[in-house]
A and B are shown apart, each in its own frame.
Chain A
Protein backbone atom coordinates (compact mmCIF):
# COMPACT_ATOMS: atom_id res chain seq x y z
CA UNK A 1 0.00 0.00 0.00
CA UNK A 2 1.23 3.47 -0.76
CA UNK A 3 2.39 5.56 2.18
CA UNK A 4 3.98 8.93 2.84
CA UNK A 5 6.65 9.75 5.40
CA UNK A 6 7.47 13.16 6.74
CA UNK A 7 10.43 12.70 9.02
CA UNK A 8 10.55 16.24 10.41
CA UNK A 9 7.71 16.53 12.89
CA UNK A 10 8.59 19.92 14.30
CA UNK A 11 11.02 22.45 12.84
CA UNK A 12 12.02 25.70 14.50
CA UNK A 13 13.83 28.38 12.49
CA UNK A 14 14.73 32.02 12.70
CA UNK A 15 13.59 34.40 10.00
CA UNK A 16 15.82 34.38 6.88
CA UNK A 17 16.96 30.82 7.53
CA UNK A 18 16.65 28.29 4.74
CA UNK A 19 14.05 25.56 4.92
CA UNK A 20 13.92 22.00 3.66
CA UNK A 21 11.15 19.63 4.71
CA UNK A 22 11.48 16.00 3.79
CA UNK A 23 8.83 13.88 2.12
CA UNK A 24 9.27 10.28 1.01
CA UNK A 25 6.67 7.97 -0.46
CA UNK A 26 6.50 4.24 -0.97
CA UNK A 27 4.82 3.75 -4.34
CA UNK A 28 7.05 2.88 -7.30
CA UNK A 29 4.79 3.75 -10.22
CA UNK A 30 3.53 7.02 -11.60
CA UNK A 31 2.64 9.46 -8.87
CA UNK A 32 1.02 12.84 -8.42
CA UNK A 33 2.64 14.78 -5.58
CA UNK A 34 1.37 17.67 -3.50
CA UNK A 35 2.30 19.94 -0.64
CA UNK A 36 -0.53 21.49 1.35
CA UNK A 37 -0.20 24.09 4.09
CA UNK A 38 -2.40 24.86 7.07
CA UNK A 39 -1.80 28.31 8.56
CA UNK A 40 -3.02 28.86 12.14
CA UNK A 41 -6.79 29.12 12.14
CA UNK A 42 -7.09 28.65 8.39
CA UNK A 43 -8.14 25.91 6.00
CA UNK A 44 -5.69 23.55 4.39
CA UNK A 45 -4.63 24.98 1.07
CA UNK A 46 -2.47 23.90 -1.84
CA UNK A 47 1.13 25.08 -1.82
CA UNK A 48 2.33 23.32 -4.97
CA UNK A 49 1.87 20.17 -7.02
CA UNK A 50 3.74 17.89 -9.42
CA UNK A 51 2.04 15.80 -12.07
CA UNK A 52 4.70 15.48 -14.78
CA UNK A 53 7.43 17.41 -16.60
CA UNK A 54 10.04 19.55 -14.87
CA UNK A 55 10.77 17.86 -11.54
CA UNK A 56 11.44 21.24 -9.92
CA UNK A 57 8.10 22.86 -9.24
CA UNK A 58 7.43 26.31 -7.87
CA UNK A 59 4.50 27.17 -5.68
CA UNK A 60 3.08 30.13 -3.87
CA UNK A 61 5.00 32.38 -1.48
CA UNK A 62 8.43 31.43 -2.79
CA UNK A 63 8.20 27.72 -2.02
CA UNK A 64 9.53 25.07 -4.37
CA UNK A 65 9.83 21.29 -4.33
CA UNK A 66 11.95 18.82 -6.24
CA UNK A 67 10.72 15.42 -7.35
CA UNK A 68 13.56 12.88 -7.27
CA UNK A 69 12.15 9.64 -8.61
CA UNK A 70 15.18 7.53 -7.72
CA UNK A 71 14.88 8.59 -4.09
CA UNK A 72 11.06 8.50 -3.94
CA UNK A 73 11.25 12.00 -2.53
CA UNK A 74 9.48 15.31 -2.94
CA UNK A 75 11.18 17.70 -0.52
CA UNK A 76 9.88 21.19 0.06
CA UNK A 77 12.30 24.12 0.10
CA UNK A 78 12.37 27.83 0.68
CA UNK A 79 15.61 29.82 0.65
CA UNK A 80 14.57 32.37 3.27
CA UNK A 81 11.62 31.84 5.61
CA UNK A 82 9.44 34.53 7.12
CA UNK A 83 7.49 34.65 10.36
CA UNK A 84 4.31 34.34 8.27
CA UNK A 85 5.44 30.88 7.09
CA UNK A 86 4.64 29.50 10.53
CA UNK A 87 2.19 26.71 9.74
CA UNK A 88 1.77 22.97 9.41
CA UNK A 89 2.90 21.46 6.12
CA UNK A 90 1.55 18.24 4.66
CA UNK A 91 2.95 16.19 1.83
CA UNK A 92 0.45 14.09 -0.15
CA UNK A 93 0.78 11.41 -2.80
CA UNK A 94 -1.58 9.81 -5.25
CA UNK A 95 -0.45 6.51 -6.74
CA UNK A 96 -2.39 3.79 -8.46
CA UNK A 97 -5.09 3.50 -5.83
CA UNK A 98 -6.51 6.88 -6.81
CA UNK A 99 -6.60 7.86 -3.13
CA UNK A 100 -4.76 10.97 -2.03
CA UNK A 101 -2.67 9.89 0.95
CA UNK A 102 -1.24 12.48 3.33
CA UNK A 103 1.79 12.38 5.56
CA UNK A 104 1.62 13.13 9.27
CA UNK A 105 2.62 16.74 8.77
CA UNK A 106 5.50 18.99 9.82
CA UNK A 107 4.91 21.86 12.17
CA UNK A 108 7.11 24.83 11.28
CA UNK A 109 7.69 27.66 13.73
CA UNK A 110 9.56 30.73 12.54
CA UNK A 111 10.78 33.23 15.09
CA UNK A 112 11.53 36.85 14.22
Chain B
Protein backbone atom coordinates (compact mmCIF):
# COMPACT_ATOMS: atom_id res chain seq x y z
CA UNK B 1 0.00 0.00 0.00
CA UNK B 2 1.09 3.57 -0.60
CA UNK B 3 3.04 5.24 2.17
CA UNK B 4 2.67 8.68 3.66
CA UNK B 5 2.91 11.29 0.92
CA UNK B 6 4.10 14.80 1.57
CA UNK B 7 4.04 17.67 -0.90
CA UNK B 8 5.91 19.67 -1.88
CA UNK B 9 9.21 17.93 -1.18
CA UNK B 10 11.29 21.08 -1.42
CA UNK B 11 10.42 24.73 -1.33
CA UNK B 12 12.12 28.06 -0.92
CA UNK B 13 10.37 31.07 0.55
CA UNK B 14 11.41 34.50 1.76
CA UNK B 15 10.86 36.03 5.17
CA UNK B 16 7.33 37.26 5.75
CA UNK B 17 5.73 34.87 3.28
CA UNK B 18 3.47 32.02 4.26
CA UNK B 19 3.58 28.37 3.30
CA UNK B 20 1.18 25.44 3.21
CA UNK B 21 2.39 21.85 3.37
CA UNK B 22 0.27 18.83 2.61
CA UNK B 23 0.25 15.29 3.96
CA UNK B 24 -1.72 12.29 2.73
CA UNK B 25 -1.67 9.47 5.30
CA UNK B 26 -1.67 5.77 4.64
CA UNK B 27 -5.10 4.60 3.59
CA UNK B 28 -7.14 3.81 6.69
CA UNK B 29 -4.95 5.83 9.04
CA UNK B 30 -6.95 8.51 10.79
CA UNK B 31 -4.25 10.14 12.89
CA UNK B 32 -1.71 12.58 11.46
CA UNK B 33 1.16 14.11 13.41
CA UNK B 34 3.52 16.86 12.33
CA UNK B 35 7.11 17.35 13.44
CA UNK B 36 9.80 19.90 12.70
CA UNK B 37 13.27 18.39 12.28
CA UNK B 38 16.39 20.54 12.54
CA UNK B 39 20.04 19.59 13.11
CA UNK B 40 20.78 19.44 16.81
CA UNK B 41 17.13 19.81 17.84
CA UNK B 42 15.87 16.47 16.65
CA UNK B 43 12.15 16.18 16.05
CA UNK B 44 10.01 18.83 17.69
CA UNK B 45 6.32 17.98 17.98
CA UNK B 46 4.04 20.46 16.24
CA UNK B 47 0.53 19.00 16.46
CA UNK B 48 -1.57 15.93 15.99
CA UNK B 49 -4.94 15.52 14.34
CA UNK B 50 -7.40 12.68 14.66
CA UNK B 51 -10.78 12.60 12.97
CA UNK B 52 -10.45 16.25 11.94
CA UNK B 53 -9.80 17.39 15.52
CA UNK B 54 -6.54 18.69 16.93
CA UNK B 55 -5.69 16.39 19.84
CA UNK B 56 -2.34 17.76 20.87
CA UNK B 57 -0.22 20.79 20.21
CA UNK B 58 3.46 21.42 20.77
CA UNK B 59 5.19 24.58 21.94
CA UNK B 60 5.23 26.50 18.71
CA UNK B 61 3.92 30.04 18.13
CA UNK B 62 0.50 30.68 16.68
CA UNK B 63 2.07 31.24 13.24
CA UNK B 64 2.06 27.46 12.96
CA UNK B 65 -1.36 26.00 12.33
CA UNK B 66 -2.88 22.92 10.82
CA UNK B 67 -6.04 21.15 9.91
CA UNK B 68 -7.31 17.77 8.88
CA UNK B 69 -9.93 16.99 6.30
CA UNK B 70 -12.64 14.35 6.30
CA UNK B 71 -10.47 12.07 4.14
CA UNK B 72 -7.73 12.29 6.83
CA UNK B 73 -5.44 14.36 4.63
CA UNK B 74 -3.79 17.11 6.62
CA UNK B 75 -2.23 20.48 5.92
CA UNK B 76 -0.02 22.67 8.00
CA UNK B 77 0.47 26.35 7.47
CA UNK B 78 3.23 28.66 8.62
CA UNK B 79 2.55 32.38 8.30
CA UNK B 80 4.99 35.27 8.43
CA UNK B 81 7.97 33.03 7.84
CA UNK B 82 11.19 33.60 9.75
CA UNK B 83 14.70 32.41 8.94
CA UNK B 84 14.51 30.01 11.88
CA UNK B 85 11.58 28.20 10.29
CA UNK B 86 13.96 26.59 7.81
CA UNK B 87 13.67 22.88 8.56
CA UNK B 88 12.46 19.52 7.40
CA UNK B 89 8.77 19.18 8.22
CA UNK B 90 7.76 15.59 8.76
CA UNK B 91 4.31 14.15 8.72
CA UNK B 92 3.49 10.78 10.23
CA UNK B 93 0.31 8.76 10.28
CA UNK B 94 -1.08 6.01 12.46
CA UNK B 95 -4.33 4.12 12.78
CA UNK B 96 -5.20 5.83 16.04
CA UNK B 97 -3.49 8.60 18.03
CA UNK B 98 0.28 8.42 18.02
CA UNK B 99 1.19 7.56 21.56
CA UNK B 100 -0.30 4.11 21.46
CA UNK B 101 0.75 3.21 17.96
CA UNK B 102 3.69 3.07 15.64
CA UNK B 103 4.07 6.12 13.42
CA UNK B 104 4.74 5.80 9.70
CA UNK B 105 6.66 8.79 8.43
CA UNK B 106 6.70 10.52 5.10
CA UNK B 107 9.82 11.78 3.34
CA UNK B 108 9.25 15.30 4.57
CA UNK B 109 8.98 18.77 3.08
CA UNK B 110 12.24 20.68 3.22
CA UNK B 111 11.57 24.37 3.69
CA UNK B 112 14.26 26.97 3.19
CA UNK B 113 13.51 30.53 4.24
CA UNK B 114 15.75 33.22 2.76
**A interface residue numbers (CB < 8 A to B):** 6, 9, 32, 34, 36, 43-46, 49, 90, 92, 94, 97-105
Residue in B closest to A41 when the chains form the complex, CB atoms: B107
Q: Is the CB of B3 within 8 A of A99?
A: no
Residues of A within 8 A of B58 (CB): 99
Q: Pick the residue among B4, B45, B108 that contacts A102 (CB under 8 A).
A: B45
Residues of B within 8 A of A105 (CB): 42-43
12 more A-B residue pairs beyond the given contacts A45-B105, A90-B42, A90-B43, with a C-beta to C-beta distance below 8 A: A32-B99, A36-B105, A43-B3, A46-B102, A94-B98, A97-B99, A99-B45, A100-B98, A102-B44, A102-B45, A105-B42, A105-B43
* A105–B39 alpha-carbon span in the complex (Å): 9
- For the complex, count residues of B whose C-beta is within 8 A of A: 26
- A65 to chain B minimum Cβ distance, whole angstroms, is 15
Interface hub of B41, B44, B55, B98 (most chain A Cβ within 10 A): B98
B56 lies within 8 A of chain A by Cβ: yes
Interface hub of A36, A43, A92, A104 (most chain B Cβ within 10 A): A43
B48 lies within 8 A of chain A by Cβ: yes
Question: Taking chain A's interface residues, is the majority helix, strand, or loop, or is none over half, making it mixed?
Answer: strand
* A99–B63 alpha-carbon span in the complex (Å): 20
Q: Is the CB of A94 within 8 A of B100?
A: yes
- B7 to chain A minimum Cβ distance, whole angstroms, is 15
Also in contact, A98 and B55, with CB within 8 A (given A44-B105, A45-B105, A104-B40): yes
Per-residue interface assignment for chain B, residues 6 to 31, with 1 indicating a CB less than 8 Å from any chain A CB and 0 otherwise: 00000000000000000000000000
* A34–B45 alpha-carbon span in the complex (Å): 15
Residues of A within 8 A of B99 (CB): 32, 94, 97-100
Q: Is the CB of B102 within 8 A of A99?
A: no
Q: Is the CB of B98 within 8 A of A99?
A: yes
* A105–B55 alpha-carbon span in the complex (Å): 25
- A82 to chain B minimum Cβ distance, whole angstroms, is 23
- B90 to chain A minimum Cβ distance, whole angstroms, is 7
